[in-house]
Amino acid sequence: QVVSQGWKYFRGHFYYFSQISKTWYSAQQICISRNSHLTSEFLYRTAGGLPYWIGLTKAGSEGDWHWVDGTPYNKVQSEKFWIPGEPNNYGNNEHCVNLKTSALRSWNDASCDNTFLFICKRSYKPSDP
């Protein structure tokens, strides 16, 4: 596994697993924010059950989940990634998603105001958007 200044390379992208906790919005601002569900196996295994924010939110979109990097959210294909019973919009205030377990079913919706570690994703090529 290639690791460069904390960025881990996996299948064409580099991923940064933070060591500090931030709100979802702060994390998103810190990242050159490119998260995706395509690599969930790599992500949940590496996250190892520690909660990390990922780039999936329904804030500001009338309840529709969307990836901040513009990757289309595939509702059917994404079913298998939610922890059973999630997303439950606990307290009517859970609009951001973190990885919460070390299993494929690792997604939980949580309040964006909570602070968690976070994962940034960027292209292999520094010049790519």
- Applying CB under 5 A, the residues found at the interface with Ca ion are 86, 88, 90, 94, 108-109
CB of 5 to Ca ion, least distance (A): 33
Which amino acid, 8? K
Distances (CA, A) of 121 to 8, 17, 62, 92, 94: 9, 9, 25, 29, 23
- Nearest residue to Ca ion, using CB? 109
CB of 57 to Ca ion, least distance (A): 13
Binding residues for ligand 2F8 restricted to 70-129, rule: CB under 6 A: 86, 88, 90, 94, 108-111, 114
For residues 129 and 123, what is the distance between their CA atoms, to the nearest angstrom? 7
Which amino acid, 30? I
The site for ligand 2F8 (CB under 6 A) is made up of: 86, 88, 90, 94, 108-111, 114
